[in-house]
Structure 1
Amino acid sequence: MTAWIVLPVSLSAFSITGIWIVYAMAVMNHHVCPVENWTYNVTCSEETARKGFPKTCCTLQDIPLISKCGSYPPESCLFSLIGNVGAFMVVMVCMLRYAQVIEHSHRCWINTSALVSGCINALGLVMVGNFQVDHAKSLHYVGAGVAFPAGLLFVCLQCVLTYRIAETALDYWMAHVRVALSAGALVSLILSGVFFIHESFVLQHAAAICEWVFTVVILVYYGTFTYEFGAVNSDTMMAALVQRSHHQGSGVIMGSHGLGKSTAMGCGGRSLKSPGGSSTSTHLNCNPESTAML
């Protein structure tokens, strides 16, 4: 077990807790209507609700989309903080996962694509967090249009990688859990987009709920990397770089042992370390006698 297991847990806990605090602040400041409210009006007279109590008259502008909850101060300040810190933690998780897969299975285009999509997701989160929808709508929508699909692509690619490098029954169980989370994220994102393009109050409200579901599911998915990060140590990144050089410099020798086929399929040969284990990979420790035998 290593301290790196704290990273994905912190990402999930910090982000999920943070966005719900933003929602609570927006409701109490009368900036959005509660998520349980399904009654909307075309216009509302000036409201006389007491300070600190939810709105009682709601229009289309008061639908509790995540972005809408973080549009106005003081909750917009916390929303920006969550977007920036969360994006940084996403990049860290993506880089560690990328290095760990290389350490375990050599290089593969799926792993590289997952790293790129994860970083694009983080970039979109920065834009969403810092350009509020009511003040910089175009930039905000660009960020959301980048962050949501990139995040979905990242989790789908990680499902494939989890199956590719699974060795134990627990590894396959984790892969099944991630497939279920990815399916939930896909369905909720599609429904959110379909509902959002309609002007119906009910469908707009349903789009907001689907957006919340998608966001929470993706963040829970990031938290599942705690399972693999128990095997990460301070040498994982360096080991990945060394293995990349070793793989590039000895491709012919590796190909003669039948690893070329698995590389063409997406990932190279496996090491002796399970994703959820904590033992050190042994394929990097080549002694002179082994080299002479080759």
Structure 2
Amino acid sequence: MTAWIVLPVSLSAFSITGIWIVYAMAVMNHHVCPVENWSYNVTCVEEPAKPGFPKSCCTIQDIPLISKCGSYPPESCLFSLIGNVGAFMVVMVCLLRYAQVIEHSHDCWINTAGLVSGCFNTLGSIMVGNFQVDHAKSLHYVGAGVAFPAGLAFACLQCMLTYRIAVTALDYWMAHVRVALAVGALVSLVLSGIFFIHESFVLQHAAAICEWVFTVVILVFYGTFTYEFGTVTNETMMAGLQRSRLRGSRVILSGTTMSEELGGGSKGLKSPGGSSTSTHLNCTPESIAML
């Protein structure tokens, strides 16, 4: 099952290539200005479209934020497709990583928290991809507010987990690489948030660049799981499922035990049919023969 190593690489390659194609389409269709443009005006006179050339006059509405690049068709269609397919691949990566850690007997709260944060990252990405910022701003911002912090949390938790289960020198080297990526993602996300709240054209443009850096770094981070997925087998996912069932059984058993304790200690709280039910359940073959 070493073919699973293709999944993380495909996620990174597909998503990074896709969002840059969306950006190129948005620039060519005059929906945003190119990243290298730092000159913005308060207003612009309507200019005739020049196919194959970017806009010559740009306002704050033309800043090339990722969300802005995917706001209008035809690039919005591709943007939604990338968000949905990428979200599915992220879920698969998170589930396989979760099951693989359990398979190697390293189950812990970090592993569970990593799975939860990855799923939240997926949910936010779906909202971002399907609710464009210019048409459903509130839902889009909610999705972004979930996806970005969840993606960063997933990266940080996986860094901790990588160090925790590392055995060889190569494992520790991979942990160092992930820490570097996580630090880069943290810095770019913080700077993007700081710059975004200002009305300065220059800072808004810097926020867009930091947003692109954060997104690319997180996608590269997901791609690093190719290193571990070479050892995924048929039993890997089963290990995760069996662990989940075991936890569910423990919850049910603990609930049953608690119910029995409560029932034995509070006989006055029985239901109206409880006494007759218990009488029938306590009938023995000897008592039936006597009758």
Q: Which TM-score tier does this pair reach, normalised by the shorter chain?
A: 0.7 to 0.9
The offset of 1:238, in angstroms, is 1.0
What's the counterpart of residue 122 of structure 1?
122
Matched, 1:148 2:145: no
Q: Is the 8 A contact 2:185 2:217 kept in 1?
A: yes
The offset of 1:66, in angstroms, is 0.2
Q: Is the 8 A contact 2:106 2:165 kept in 1?
A: no
Q: How does 1:228-267 map to 2 (within 5 A)?
A: 228-242=228-242
Secondary structure, counterpart of 1:113 in structure 2:
helix
Structure 1 segments, 4+ long, off by >2 Å, are 239-249
What's the counterpart of residue 203 of structure 1?
203
What's the counterpart of residue 72 of structure 1?
72
What's the counterpart of residue 167 of structure 1?
167
Q: How does 1:94-133 map to 2 (within 5 A)?
A: 94-133=94-133
Secondary structure, counterpart of 1:51 in structure 2:
coil
TM-score normalised according to structure 2 size: 0.83
User: Which whole-Å deviations, capped at 9, do the CAs of 1:64-90 have from their partners, x for residues lacking one?
Assistant: 000000000000000000000000000
User: Which whole-Å deviations, capped at 9, do the CAs of 1:148-203 have from their partners, x for residues lacking one?
Assistant: 00000000000000000000000000000000000000000000000000000000
Uncovered stretches (5+) of structure 1, i.e. residues with no partner: 250-294
CA RMSD for the aligned pairs? Answer: 1.7
The offset of 1:243, in angstroms, is 5.7
User: Which whole-Å deviations, capped at 9, do the CAs of 1:177-233 have from their partners, x for residues lacking one?
Assistant: 000000000000000000000000000000000000000000000000000000001
Q: Is the 8 A contact 1:106 1:243 kept in 2?
A: no
Q: Is the 8 A contact 1:16 1:219 kept in 2?
A: yes
What's the counterpart of residue 62 of structure 1?
62
Tell me how far apart the structure 1 counterparts of residues 244 and 209 of structure 2 sit (CA, whole Å): 44
Matched, 1:23 2:23: yes
Secondary structure, counterpart of 2:159 in structure 1:
helix
The offset of 1:52, in angstroms, is 2.1
Q: Is the 8 A contact 1:189 1:210 kept in 2?
A: yes
What's the counterpart of residue 92 of structure 1?
92
Tell me how far apart the structure 2 counterparts of residues 247 and 124 of structure 1 sit (CA, whole Å): 27
Tell me how far apart the structure 2 counterparts of residues 177 and 106 of structure 1 sit (CA, whole Å): 21
User: Which whole-Å deviations, capped at 9, do the CAs of 1:212-271 have from their partners, x for residues lacking one?
Assistant: 00000000000000000000012201133446778999xxxxxxxxxxxxxxxxxxxxxx
What's the counterpart of residue 6 of structure 2?
6
Q: Which amino acid aligns with 1:26?
A: A
Tell me how far apart the structure 2 counterparts of residues 153 and 191 of structure 1 sit (CA, whole Å): 17
Q: Is the 8 A contact 1:102 1:244 kept in 2?
A: no
Tell me how far apart the structure 1 counterparts of residues 177 and 59 of structure 2 sit (CA, whole Å): 39
Q: Is the 8 A contact 1:193 1:207 kept in 2?
A: yes
When residues 144 and 248 of structure 1 are mapped into structure 2, their CA distance, relative to the original with a 3 A threshold, is closer
What's the counterpart of residue 37 of structure 2?
37
TM-score normalised according to structure 1 size: 0.82
When residues 145 and 170 of structure 1 are mapped into structure 2, their CA distance, relative to the original with a 3 A threshold, is same
What's the counterpart of residue 138 of structure 2?
138
Percent identical pairs in the alignment equals: 85
Tell me how far apart the structure 2 counterparts of residues 245 and 148 of structure 1 sit (CA, whole Å): 31
The offset of 1:137, in angstroms, is 0.2
Q: Which amino acid aligns with 2:68?
A: K
What's the counterpart of residue 188 of structure 2?
188
Q: Is the 8 A contact 1:103 1:243 kept in 2?
A: no
Tell me how far apart the structure 2 counterparts of residues 187 and 136 of structure 1 sit (CA, whole Å): 28
Q: Is the 8 A contact 1:188 1:210 kept in 2?
A: yes
